[in-house]
Amino acid sequence: MRIVVTGQDGQVVRALLSIGAEEGVTIVALGRPTLDLAKPETIAPAILAAEPDVVINAAAYTAVDKAEGEADLADAVNGRGAGAVAAAAAQAGVPVLQISTDYVFDGTALRPYREDDPTGPLGVYGRSKLAGEVAAAASNPRHVILRTAWVFSPFGQNFVKTMLRLAATRDEVGVVADQHGCPTSAIDIARVLIAVAKRTAAEPDAAANLFGRFHMAATGEAVWADVAEAIFARSAVQNGPHATVRRIATSDYPTPAKRPANSRLDGGKLASVYGLVMPPWQNSLATCVDTLLAESSSTSDPRNERTV
């Protein structure tokens, strides 16, 4: 099976590339300049030439705060770009999996959000991703929109790496404790994406319930301070950097973009339709911390330095 994924450097793309072989699929990653979501004319030729069985749109404009000043670019990439990817998949006669975000919600709900709850993004990033959902759905009837949240991994830049870096030079780190969400491993996301891709490709005339919107987030919930404490606790066990967490309010750490106070996602629909339940975030986080510490130790070991 051949899965074509947009993007090359993002956490989810790198996770797909790292586990594709063990999951029995070929992952073809298409990024700039071959495929650029901000340049619609590049999208269909690149995707059609790659001969996909399924297309995953994992490329996105993800700079949440920067997007407040670059709305046109965010809309072009996350909105119109997503629609063009879905249209190219339809032209190839294959399903499209569109990755979306918890930021499509306003955070006022008192429970985890379900797929049919009203949306109400608070900023440019969330609005652009919601526009991408609408565009993908309109451009390809065989669409699966998968919203996820608080992504972490051993790849790229993310909260886990930031906390470990700060703990290396600080005894205490202030972390927001009034935003609630579902920390989710990119590796776990990749496994779900591959499972969904296999199912939709194997059942070309599948019932309509395989398509539509789904929530794809780890089991369990947390505030950011909980995640930081779990990172430091695991790191301390491995003799890695750790610090004390000082719990702060969102108002103590102002950002250009407003974040939803509650962006927890209910994964019940994904479980009932596809039989997929994601692992608890604590388990995947511990694995991620272990991997990063092992990589750091290997890199810093003088025996691994090259000599000329």
Q: Which residues are catalytic?
A: 125
Tokens encoding 197: 């891709």
Mapped onto helix, strand or coil, the DSSP state of residue 193 is helix
Q: How far is CA 116 from CA 95, 105, 110, 296, in A?
A: 22, 11, 15, 43
**Residue 60, H or E segment:** none
Q: Which residues contact 34 (CB under 8 A, 6 or more apart)?
A: 42, 46
Quick one: which of 176, 182, 180 has its CA closest to 254? 176
Mapped onto helix, strand or coil, the DSSP state of residue 101 is strand
Q: Which residues pair with 181 in a beta bridge?
A: 222
Mapped onto helix, strand or coil, the DSSP state of residue 153 is coil
